[in-house]
A and B are shown apart, each in its own frame.
Chain A
Amino acid sequence: MKTWSELNTLQPIVTKMLTNGIEKERIAHAYLFQGSRGTGKKEASILVAKSFFCPNQTEVEPCHVCRECKRIDSGNHPDLHWVKPDGASIKKEQIAHLQKEFTYTGLESNQKVYIIEHADRMTTNASNQLLKFLEEPSKNTVAILLTENNQSILNTIRSRCQIMSFKPLNPIALQQKLVENGVTEATARLTSYLTNNVSEAIELSHDGWFAKSREIVIKLIEVLHEQKDEAFLFLHNQWLNHFQDREQTQLGLDLLLIWYKDFIYYHIERQEAIIFMNEIDRFEKYTYTLSQKFATKAIKNILEAKSKLMANVNPTLVIEDLVLHLQR
């Protein structure tokens, strides 16, 4: 996904809106790109930057080979600024640094673009600092905020940006594409739920670590429901060794979440929506011992655990707490 025409096949509405804006020279001072993982937000932001800087574009399509385009690709363009979360969040200092940068004239041109990735992860202080900056845009500046979670962006920030919603890709189309690429159907379902990006999904399906993760999650559920006393032992022997950092733990929790969701789907007889297709036998077996109400509660607990993890709570404690809840 590198050119506008390629993006057009995936995100026709957004592409149309952006290219029209560029063509008519009506680029907004701030955009908010929202959409789930892998929907092409970053690619679109790079394309906007290229269309902004590239001197030899044909209509709106930048050339991708000139000096400006090359430097945007390699991250060396002096008038394009990337802000990424430093650790878990975007800190106030990062925004202050950005602001300082914008009090200077441009290094080469007098146009500047800044792109903030994961804008939802800005701390409150950082958001407020940015707000002031967004309110008074200097001329020839374009801000692009990228987020997967538009609900956690401050209202006051959202109202100052032109919002571009990136549609989630059609999961069935993605699954088919994955199956065409030689991924088994069960894996295709699972990976297409976790990401919207084909190449990322294929990578996941070939990843040994990911396969092991799935196994461990299923095993945990088995232990939770059949040998309750062993749950903590299992947690420390296997889970914690496998899911080591925060990001990995998040993925583990996602898988756990999918399982309970599937269970509910099974209960309400929506078999076609089930993602863990190979687990149907187990769902059958548990229908009598595990109530729908409990599963709903489990989902709530998992979501809570996920947000705790985001809020920097120790991952081991989060998981232990969750297991205690699920064990009951």
Chain B
Amino acid sequence: MKFVIQRNQLMESVQDVMKAISSKTTIPILSGMKLEATTDGVKLTGSDSDISIESFIPTEENGIVFVENIEPGSIILQAKYFPEIVRKLPEQTVEIESDEQFNVTIRSGSAEFNLNGQDPQEYPQLPKLHTENSFELPIDLLKDLIRQTVFAVSTSETRPILTGVNMVLRDEKLHFVATDSHRLASRTIPMSDITSEVTFKNIVIPGKSLNELNKILEDSQDKIEISVTENQILFRTKHLYFLSRLLDGNYPETSRLIPEQSKTNVVIDAKELLHSIDRASLLAKESRNNVVKLMTKDGHTIEISSNSPEVGKVLDEVKVDSIEGEELKISFSAKYMMDALKAINTEKVKILFTGAMRPFIIKPGSEEEEILQLILPVRTY
């Protein structure tokens, strides 16, 4: 294998790929980075077996040549040293060459490094892309989807399937659902332009992978292509491929959990409610479960209160736009409520209660059905 490459491009790719490589690996080969040269360009791969990132550098783009003198081949390099070497090379162009014994020579200007590589055959084979089984989304919409659901995944390993976000494509709609069995976050977007050939059912993407993906993607209107294979999901932007393994098992049926009718409906300014709950939780944080109490009062205000006997108590009133239905006293976790309000991110929110012991729903104020946050109340006396 041999090629000459622009250092800046290589550096950028190396940094992207390094995000997937962890220093603690169970399989020794994953501490390395794979370099693969083809006539189209150079591909770098890094993986910690849960997620894998591939970055592609084309031979040329918009008339600017990035890679030259390519002799196809591949090699595994130690990820511990390679990025530092690339960063500190003296010239703008870098020549990388490897022989049959997996010895790698990196030349740039006056500097020459000889590294011991490893056999590329040892590296895990990432699944081939099935481009026909894929769909596209704008990157910022995908980031929204992730941000609005992933916080609700379970952090405990007792039910591993709940540590992921459930993705379903049904009735021309894409559903994202996450729950830790105390709360649930779901977001639905219409997918009318999708071809009916795309078929996958009920997959569960690990929350950790989605958080990682969210960090790597930059906000933009560009499209990202998503394809699902048998055991992995692939997110693909122009030059960056992000692969994650899926969680194995059946996600619980969540649609039945969401109450269809409500007894008390409140419309309220999201920011004011958030601040009020934040204040009330100041004292509640001390006691174990961070619980605040909400009480409807006369048609115009609700009272948010919290009482921790050993510290003190808070009382706060918030003006509401409207209250319909029965009077209500309910207690719930302040943290879950704040997470939900932050995720919705609209000016007004609508809260639908079905009694003090039943879960309640928070929706955006305007009649969009797409975001839904469900919280289970806490029993207090």
Contact = CB atoms under 8 A, between A and B. Distances in A.
Interface of A: 67, 70-71, 74-78, 81-82, 96-97, 99-108, 110, 138
Interface in B134-174: 157, 160-161, 163
Interface string B20-46: 000000111100000000000000000
Contacts of B377: none
A70 B29 CA distance: 13
Q: In terms of DSSP, what is the predominant structure of the interface of chain A?
A: mixed
B231 A110 contact: yes
A138 B248 CA distance: 9
A75 B50 contact: no
A103 B157 CA distance: 10
A189 B50 CA distance: 50
A120 B373 CA distance: 48
Contact of A105 (B125, B157, B163, B248): B248
A104 B124 contact: no
A103 B248 contact: yes
B124 A78 contact: yes
Contacts of A81: 26
A70 B123 CA distance: 11
B249 interface: yes
Contact of A96 (B27, B121, B157): B157
Nearest to A97: B26
Interface string B46-64: 0001100000000000000
A82 B25 CA distance: 12
B220 to A, nearest CB: 30
Contacts of B49: 78, 107
A76 B245 contact: no
Given A71-B121, A78-B27, 15 more contacts: A70-B121, A70-B122, A74-B29, A75-B28, A82-B26, A96-B157, A97-B26, A103-B160, A103-B249, A104-B245, A104-B246, A105-B247, A106-B245, A107-B124, A107-B232
B231 to A, nearest CB: 4
A82 to B, nearest CB: 8
A104 B247 CA distance: 4
B231 A105 contact: yes
Nearest to B206: A104
Nearest to A75: B28
B197 interface: no
A100 B157 CA distance: 8
Contacts of B125: 67, 108
A108 B124 contact: yes
A106 B157 CA distance: 18
A103 B247 CA distance: 6
Given A74-B122, A96-B157, A104 B50 contact: yes
A194 B122 CA distance: 36
Contacts of B28: 74-76
A104 B248 contact: yes
A101 B247 CA distance: 10
Interface string B217-236: 00000000000001110000
Nearest to A100: B157
Nearest to B161: A103
Contacts of B249: 103
Contacts of B157: 96, 99-100
A74 B27 CA distance: 10
Interface residues of B, number: 25
24 contacts: A67-B125, A70-B121, A71-B121, A74-B29, A75-B28, A76-B122, A76-B123, A78-B49, A82-B26, A99-B157, A101-B26, A103-B160, A103-B163, A103-B249, A104-B50, A104-B206, A104-B246, A104-B248, A105-B231, A105-B245, A105-B246, A107-B232, A107-B245, A110-B231
Contacts of B247: 103-105
A81 B25 CA distance: 12
A138 B123 CA distance: 26
A205 B106 CA distance: 46
Given A75-B27, A104-B248, A105-B248, A110 B230 contact: yes
Contacts of B230: 105, 110
A105 B164 CA distance: 13
B161 A77 contact: no
A100 B161 CA distance: 10
Interface in B110-144: 121-125, 127
In the A-B complex, list the 3 residue pairs whose CB atoms are closest, starting with the nearest.
Answer: A105-B231, A103-B160, A76-B29
A100 B156 CA distance: 11
Contacts of A107: 49, 124, 231-232, 245
Contacts of A78: 27, 49, 124
A138 to B, nearest CB: 6
Interface string B176-205: 000000000000000000000000000000
B157 to A, nearest CB: 6
Nearest to B209: A104
B27 A106 contact: no
Given A78-B27, A107-B245, A67 B121 contact: yes
A173 B223 CA distance: 71
A102 B248 contact: yes
Nearest to B125: A108
Given A71-B122, A138-B248, A77 B27 contact: yes
Contacts of B232: 105, 107
Residue of A96, A108, A110 most packed against chain B (CB within 10 A): A108
A143 B124 CA distance: 21
Given A78-B49, A105-B245, A100 B160 contact: yes
B121 A106 contact: no
Residue of B26, B157, B249 most packed against chain A (CB within 10 A): B26
Contacts of A105: 230-232, 245-248
Contacts of B121: 67, 70-71
A151 B17 CA distance: 48
Contacts of A103: 160-161, 163, 247-249
Contacts of B29: 71, 74, 76
